[in-house]
Amino acid sequence: MAEIRIMRRVLASNDALASSQLEELDRNNVLSINIMSGPGSGKTSLIERTIEALGKKCRIYVIEGDIQSNLDAERVAAKGAPVTQINTQGACHLDGMMMASVFPQIDFPNVDLLLIENVGNLVCPAEFTLPAHYNVTIVSTAEGSDKPVKYPLMFTKSDAVIINKIDLLPYVNFDIGELILAVHKLKPEIPVIQISTKTRAGMDEWFAWIEEKLAV
Binding footprint of ligand GDP on the chain (CB under 6 A)? 37, 39-45, 120, 164-165, 167-168, 196-198
Q: Which does residue 109 bind out of ligand GDP, Mg ion, none, counting CB within 5 to 8 angstroms by kind? A: none
Rounded (to 5) percent helix, strand, coil in the chain: 50, 20, 35
17, 22, 30, 43: residue in contact with Mg ion (rule CB under 5 A)? 43
Q: Report how far residue 102's alpha carbon sits from residue 167's, in angstroms, rounded to the nearest whole number.
A: 36
Q: Which is nearer to ligand GDP, 10 or 168 (CB)?
A: 168
Residue 101 one-letter amino acid? S
Quote the least distance from Cβ 207 to ligand GDP, whole Å: 15
Which listed range, 16-24, 27-35, 42-50, 102-110, lies at the site for Mg ion (CB under 5 A)? 42-50
List C-alpha distances in Å: 183 to 8, 33, 88, 208, 213.
27, 19, 29, 21, 21
**Amino acid at the residue 161:** V
Q: What would the DSSP string read from start to end of 83-129?
A: EEEEE-TT-SS--HHHHHHHGGGS-GGG-SEEEEE--S-SSGGGTS-
**Selected range binding Mg ion among 68-76, 94-102, 146-154, 203-211, rule: CB under 5 A:** 68-76
How far apart are CB 16 and ligand GDP at their closest, in Å?
29
Decide: helix, strand or coil at residue 59. coil
Q: Which stretch binds Mg ion (CB under 5 A): 10-18, 65-73, 83-91, 96-104?
A: 65-73
Does 44 contact Mg ion by CB under 5 A?
yes
Based on the shown chain and the rule CB under 5 A, indicate whether residue 140 belongs to the binding site for Mg ion.
no
Interface contacts to Mg ion, rule CB under 5 A: 43-44, 72
